[in-house]
Amino acid sequence: MKARIGWLPGDGVGPEVLREARRVLEVIASEQNHEFEFAEADIGGVAIERHGEPLPKATQDICLSSDAVFLGAVGDPKYDHLPPGKKCENGLLDLRKLLGNYANLRPVTVFEALVDSSPLRRDSVRGVDLIIVRELLGGIYFGSPRGIEETQAFNTEIYTRDEVRRIARVAFKLARHRRRRVTSVDKANVLESSVLWRETCGEVAKQFPDVAFQSMYVDNCAMQLIAKPAQFDVIVTNNMFGDILSDEASMLAGSLGLLPSASIGGKIGLYEPVHGSAPDIAGKGIANPLGAISSAAMLLEHSLELPREATKLERAILKVLSRGYRTPDLKSRTSREKSKERIVSTKEMGELVCDYIRMPDAT
């Protein structure tokens, strides 16, 4: 097949990890007789530097003319002084809105090879395989009015039933292909917006009688993710709670650098690793590219409808990890596992994944 991919390296380590994701996609294309065109554009700090705004019109045009969009990271401390609406992060927020992607999928899987990389006990994290479905276009990040006055600042949390209904349906449909359990997370004992959230998710649950359903307060969910994370299958929650809980859940896997994400719902999907721009390690060759590479697998599955190729890529990642290859963020806590580790650079990790894709037993 032929596909055009909008390619937005962004800031910090973004260009480094996307370089390896692109290398992997090129190998997949070569091996499976596909043709991927990468249309590169600016976003975030680099876009402010070159164009004076975080999401230039040229970038928007490239994204809207692509079959999928791949983002590295946005964020640069030297632009933190800019007013709200002009910061690096607004490039990402505006891009999500432009593409109409209301559902953010953030899977968290603890690989058996990495159970000792997690700060939690082995018996707590072993077998964890969950996905957080975060509503992406509503809630406190987009609500109006908002602002800063002389003695106060304010933001507004707003959700409509339709917004909650559509994100809930995404979660239940996902659960049908997993372990058939959905947990809706809210703060309905305090927030009116969460009361509506809980009521609406309960109504949608009745349309999926084959899926077990429960509601949970966000503070309890935050504790349960640490105490008993294996209980979760699909977690669906609002924009802010999803942002926070998904970063917390990243520690189950051992590193934020491992985790991919997909933003779907519009005609064009957006894919990006969960980690930020990490300017403190940019250019050092130590960033973990596996979050970006796993995001490439999600792109293959969701936007290009190439599940076989996505599985091939995921298995290659698993083989690399099972053979002891690690970027510096994945060092084990136990001496037994440390003796098996082989620490590699960002580029070397990408090359290893490519090597295993090429192997016949990676299928």
Question: Active-site positions?
Answer: 141, 187, 219, 243, 247
Q: Strand (E) positions, 60-180?
A: 68-73, 103-109, 129-135, 147-148, 153-154
| CA angle in degrees (0–180, nearest 5) for 183-188-192 | 130
Q: Is 283 exposed, middle or buried (0-12, 13-18, 19+ CB in 10 A)?
A: exposed
176: left (phi over 0), alpha (psi -120 to 50) or beta: alpha
First-to-last CA distance in the chain?
Answer: 19
| Sole residue written with tokens 């002009």 | 86
C-beta separation of 241 from 181 below 8 A: no
Amino acid at residue number 222: A
Structure tokens at 9: 């390296």
Query: What is the spatial distance between Cα 192 and Cα 173, in angstroms, rounded to a whole number?
Result: 26
Structure tokens at 173: 């449909």
DSSP class of 209: T
Residues of 212-223 as b/e, b for ≥16 C-beta within 10 angstroms?
A: ebebbbbeebbe
| Sole residue written with tokens 């960033």 | 287
C-beta separation of 330 from 114 below 8 A: yes
Structure tokens at 265: 């719902």
**Separation of CA 70 from chain center:** 11
What pairing do the DSSP bridges indicate for beta strands 103-109 and 325-326? unpaired
Query: Residue 105: phi, psi to the nearest 5?
Result: -105, 120
Structure tokens at 322: 């099972």
The helix/strand/coil state of 239 is: helix
What pairing do the DSSP bridges indicate for beta strands 234-237 and 212-217? unpaired
| Sole residue written with tokens 């298995």 | 315
